[in-house]
Amino acid sequence: MSNHLDAFLALFSRETRENVLCLRNLVFDVFPHAVEQVDPKAGIITYGYSGDPSGCFVFALVPHMKHVNLLFSQGALLSDPSGLLAGTGTLVRRVKIRSEAETQNPKLQALLKEALQLTSEH
């Protein structure tokens, strides 16, 4: 873990930090070559194909005091048969994570895999 990530996560509760780290591991399990970018000013950690600062990402983690939002850049295009995704944006959707148990949901991992497959086709 980088010093930037450590410093950023120090601003949040222990539970939020643990949830971020569990989600981070899940993202890297599905997307092992992801480039991680920590942007403390924006309050976001992004994962994409490159370190391009243009804002392109596949997944992002947005920690809050009592939960973490896992963002999917192309979430509106995902099938989401389990109904995990929330949001009404043109493309971006989120899954709100409140506990470590929620990070272990196999349906969440399936959604991550579908999202990665979708973005690799573009």
Question: By C-alpha distance, which of 90, 80, 86 is closest to 112?
Answer: 80
Domain boundaries of the chain, sorted by first residue: 3-120
Please state which of the four CATH numbers 1.10.10.10, 3.40.50.720, 3.90.1150.200, 3.30.300.30 is assigned to the domain occupying 3-120: 3.90.1150.200
Cα separation of 33 and 27, whole Å?
10
Cα separation of 15 and 19, whole Å?
6
pLDDT in tens, 73-112: 999 999 999 999 999 989 999 999 999 999 999 999 999 9
In DSSP notation, 97-114 reads E-SHHHHT-HHHHHHHHH
Q: What percent of the chain has pLDDT over 90?
A: 84
Tokens 């579908």 correspond to 114
pTM of the shown model = 0.93
Given a cut of 70, whether residue 7 has pLDDT beyond it is yes
pLDDT at 119: 84
Cα separation of 35 and 105, whole Å?
24
